[in-house]
Structure formats: structure tokens, C-alpha cells
A and B are shown apart, each in its own frame.
Chain A
Amino acid sequence: MTAQLSPKDRQERVRERAFTTAGLIAAVTLVATIAIFLVDLTISSRGSRSTFGWSFLWHTDWNPVTEEFGALPMIVGTLITGFGSLLLATPLALGIAIFLADYAHRRIVEPVKYLIGLLGGLPSVIFGLWGLFVLVPLISKFEVWFGHAVGSETLVTAGTTGVGLLASIVLLALMILPYSASLILDSLLVVPNELREGSLALGATKWDTIQNVELPYIRRSTVGAVVLSLGRALGETMAVTMVIGNGMKMPGSLFDPANTLASAIANQFLEATSPLYVSSLIELALILFCISIIINIAARAILRKRTQ
């Protein structure tokens, strides 16, 4: 067979094979990357895992001086900031998406979508800068006012720096808002118009239609969008690092300085001197990696069922 091939054919066949191989290599690399991450983080956190075992996950002490490391304060901090920001951002995101899909004039939809994309594309560190110099002073004022209002001495005197869980929650909410709003908007835009028109023709008001026809229609994809936003919020690093205050204790209230898994690593990795300290921080990264992989795959599974 090969003997009958013209030089041009042979050249094409070589190119064919090169193309297939390159595609396969790239695809396999992508899949292997996840495995390499997992293996590398697991090996590098060996010191911490063999010293503390599973108790690393529920110990509340994080003390570099005595070399006692437990991740619970960071896990709690991550969950509070993640779910707190979700609680703030999701209703707003829904409102914005509904406004753009059902109320706004077509001419303002595009500019607003553009602005949302712009906000979503701003780097985390820029949000952190803004949070640190604009948002944190506002939160601090709010804390003093709140302290006076409820008559709490400790809040008025001690809790006035403004950095802490509350500042992180508000900043995170702002950061995930554009993301979840645009995801929800995309699913609202594919609601068939016949459904809308049918409901309106039956005498339903616009809001009746949204509540009884559109929202049930997009329920699954909205859940998917919220889970994806949660994944973002849990892993968000720089902005949170700059406003959360690097607290190492279990947070007692929303005004306390705290740490998330991500912010603890960013704040402390370069100062970590002992091998056990370093490997404990790497184990935090391993926990964060596993959480984000699980959440992302769960979200895709939710979203995929919707399209089938």
C-alpha cells in the first residue's frame, strides 16, 4: 500500500498523524494535570498528615509557636464567608437577571451586560485594594454604630478596625454577583417565549408569570449557578486575604478577624519557617483543592441533567 502513495499523500498522512497525536497529548495532559495536582499536594503535605492525621480537620488550635496545627478555624471561616456572601449575592443576582430578561429595554441590556462582564473581569487584588481602603473604613463605622446600638463595650472599643468576616462577606458578595447574575441571565434567556405568552394570555401579571412559569423553569440551572458561585467564593484568595485580618482563632462573631483556607495560605506561607508549618499550609491547599473539585463536578452534574 505505502509504495503506491505519492509524496503528497505521504506528507498528508504524516500531518494527519501529527495532528491526532498532538490533540491526544494535549487532552491527556489536561486530564493528567488534575491527578498531578492531587498527588503533588498529597506528597508535599506528608509531614502534617502523618503528625496530625484526620484530627487536622477538627482541631481548633492553629499555633505556629507550639507547632499545633488544626484546620477547623479556617474551614469555619471559609464556610461562613462562602455561604454568607452567597446569601447576600443570590437574591440580588436573581433580581438583576430578571430585570434584564423581562423588564429592561433591549437597548440597555447590552451595556449592562457589558458592565457586568467588566466587573467580573476585574482582578481579585483590585477588589482587595478597594475593599481595604474604601469598604473596610465603612464597615468599621458600621461596627461602632452597631456597638452603640446594642450597647456592646467590646465592639465599640475593640471591634473598630473593620477587617474581619463581615468585610470579607460583603466584598465576596460583590465579586460573585456578576458571575452568578450572568449565569442566571443566560438560563432566563432560553425560557421559551410561548410559555411566557401563554401565561400572560391567561391573565397572569408579569410577576405571576415570572414566579409561576419562569422561575420553576430555570430552577435547576439556578441551583447550578449558585453552586458554581459558591465554588468561586470558597476559593477566592487575594481580596479576602486583604480584608479578613489574618485571625488564627475560631471566630466568635461576624466582626472578628479570621482566616479562610485560601487567605491563611496567602498570609502565612512566606513566613512559615518550620517544615511542619509549611506542610500544614500545603494540607490546607489540599483540602481546598478537594472541596473545589467536588463542588465543580457537582455543579456540572446538576447543569448537565437540565440540558438532557
Chain B
Amino acid sequence: MSWRKVKNSVMGLVVAGSAVLLILVLAVILWHIFSSGARYLSWDFFTKPPAPFGEEGGGVVNSIIGTFLITIVAAAIGTPFGIFAGIYVSEHRGQRFADIVRLCADALQGIPSIVIGIFGYTFIVARFRSYSAVAASISLAFMFVPTTARVTEEVLNLVPSGLKEAAYALGARQSSVIWNISIKTAATGITSGLLTSMSRIAGETAPLLFTAFGSRYIEWNMARPMSALPLQIYIYASSPYPSLQQQAWSAAFVLVLLILVLQYVSRKLISRVLRVK
């Protein structure tokens, strides 16, 4: 065999090996989360707030409620901005300002989550002199808007231009073309994008550290400090007590499950869009 052929086979093995390595590591991580997480799950875990210090048991229902509230409010704040920015960029394709908006959306997506957390603190918490769940939602909205804007733009760009041109040819205005043709054609894709963005922010911890702050009680008031699953995982994982560390694994299991469900629904929706095309 010539040197070239030896190299060919060796490199084939090397790239296959790297893929196998990745899959193995991924499998190990997921296995740890599911096995360690599921082992300590109990009814109490889903229905009770944390037990008082020194007592066994307790659950994370306050964090589950908090994650839902904070995520949904963040999405509610961010959705109009994200979708309209996406529409703007898509409708003004090729224009200078639209390019700048797109670049800013990309740059915003790259801002480290801890910087967003600090901004949430200096901009909102320090101003109102109190930690609050709504400050966390606003911080997360800053992560939600750029992702949503980019997805909306990409989905809108998939709408066949023939469809839009036909509407224009019939005398339709731009707003009614956007509303009746583009948005309605792209609705499924945009919904899928919204769910993906939600699955991203639902797992964020750093923006919550100095805004939502955490709480040991069930809290429905968005103006007060609130717990969330990622915060709870971080706090319990850093604690020296094995029982709390076990709860961190279980909370991680619940959080991953929530994110997987969001991603699964999003994927189902987007695959429907792509199949129609």
C-alpha cells in the first residue's frame, strides 16, 4: 500500500474516532443527568418548597413556578420587539440600516450572559432598590429579542417571493402583504423560533443571579425576589450538603426535560414547515 492510501485509512479512523468520542461523552453526560436526577425524584419534590434549614426533604415547586413565570413574561416582553425587528430586516433586505440591525442582533447574541445579569442589576435592580422577578424577565428579554429577530427574518426569507409579488400585483399594500401573506405563511416557523428562544432563556442562570436573586418560598408576585430552576441548581450544587446536591441533580433532570420538550415541539413544527416547501 502506498503512503497516500495508508494516510487515507488512518485519517478515516481519526475522524470516525472523534465522532465516536463526542457521542460517548454526550451519552455519559445525559446518562448522569437522567440516572442521578431520576433517582431522587419524589412527589414532594414537585409539590413542596424547600424544607427549612437542617430538615430533610422539601422540593423545588417554588423554582418550577418561578422558571415558568420568568420565562413566559420575558417571552411576552421580547416577542413583539423580536418579530417586528425580524420583519423590518427581512422587508428592507440589502439596505444599510437593515444590515446594521442584523449585525447588532448577532452581536447581542454574543454578549455573555453574566454581562446581561450585571446590566439587569445596574439598570433595573439598583434603580428600584429591590431584587425582582420582573428585572430577571427584562434581562432575559435582552437575550430573547435578538434570537427571535434572527429566526423571524430567516423564516420570512423562506416565503416565496412569487406569492408576495402576486399580492402586490393585485394592488395589496405592503402591510397587508406582510400580514396576510408573509406572516401567515411563516407563522409555524416563527412559533418554532419562539419556542427555541424560550428553551434557551429557560436554562439561563447568570442573568438571574443579581436580578431574581432567589427565594425559599412560593412566590407569584413578579415584583419580589423569586427562585428559578437554574438558580436552585447552582445554589444547591455549591452547597456542602449531600441531600441538597442530590436535589440539584433532580432539579437538573426536570430542567433538561422541560428544555427537551420545548425543543421537540419546536423541531416538529419546523420540520412541518420544511416539508411543505
Contacts and interface: CB of A to CB of B under 8 A. Distances in A.
A297 interface: yes
A30 B146 contact: yes
B274 interface: no
Given A23-B88, A24-B88, A296 B110 contact: yes
A8 to B, nearest CB: 11
B176 interface: yes
B175 A288 contact: no
B22 A235 contact: no
Interface string A117-133: 11101111111111011
B113 A124 contact: yes
A19 interface: yes
Contacts of A99: 15-16, 18-19
Nearest to B30: A118
A207 B113 CA distance: 40
B57 interface: no
B76 interface: no
A20 B87 CA distance: 10
Given A41-B118, A103-B16, A124-B205, A22 B84 contact: yes
B206 A124 contact: yes
A190 interface: no
A41 B112 CA distance: 14
- Most A Cβ at <10 Å: residue of B84, B89, B230: B84
A282 interface: yes
A237 B122 CA distance: 18
Interface string B192-209: 000000011011111001
Contacts of A87: none
B8 A19 contact: no
A112 to B, nearest CB: 7
B96 interface: no
Interface string A264-308: 011001100000000001100100110011011100100000000
Nearest to B89: A27
A302 B169 CA distance: 39
B259 A95 contact: no
A15 B176 CA distance: 8
A19 B175 contact: yes
Interface string B100-124: 1101111111111111011101110
B101 A31 contact: yes
B40 to A, nearest CB: 13
Contact of A125 (B12, B15, B89, B203): B203
A116 interface: yes
A33 B106 contact: no
Nearest to B210: A269
Contacts of A124: 113, 203-206
A129 B174 contact: no
Nearest to A231: B110
B115 A289 contact: yes
Given A26-B85, A126-B255, A293-B111, A121 B15 contact: no
A269 B259 contact: no
A24 B18 CA distance: 47
Given A292-B111, A292-B115, A129 B233 contact: yes
A180 B265 CA distance: 25
Contact of A23 (B87, B106, B199, B234): B87
B15 A98 contact: yes
A270 B230 CA distance: 17
B22 A177 contact: yes
B234 A128 contact: yes
B179 A19 contact: yes
A183 interface: no
Contacts of B21: 92
Interface in B1-28: 4-5, 7-8, 11-12, 14-19, 21-23, 25-26, 28
Interface of A: 12-13, 15-16, 18-20, 22-27, 29-31, 33-34, 36-37, 40-41, 44, 91-92, 95-96, 98-100, 102-104, 112, 115-119, 121-130, 132-134, 174, 177-178, 181, 205-208, 210, 228, 231-232, 234-238, 242, 262, 265-266, 269-270, 281-282, 285, 288-289, 292-293, 295-297, 300
8 contacts: A15-B179, A19-B87, A26-B149, A33-B104, A44-B126, A129-B237, A205-B4, A207-B8
Given A123-B204, A296-B110, 19 more contacts: A23-B85, A29-B81, A29-B85, A33-B145, A34-B107, A37-B115, A44-B126, A96-B22, A119-B26, A123-B202, A124-B205, A126-B255, A134-B28, A208-B4, A235-B115, A262-B115, A269-B209, A288-B114, A296-B109
Which A-B residue pairs are the 9 nearest by beta carbons?
A235-B112, A123-B203, A95-B18, A26-B84, A23-B88, A296-B110, A205-B8, A26-B85, A99-B15
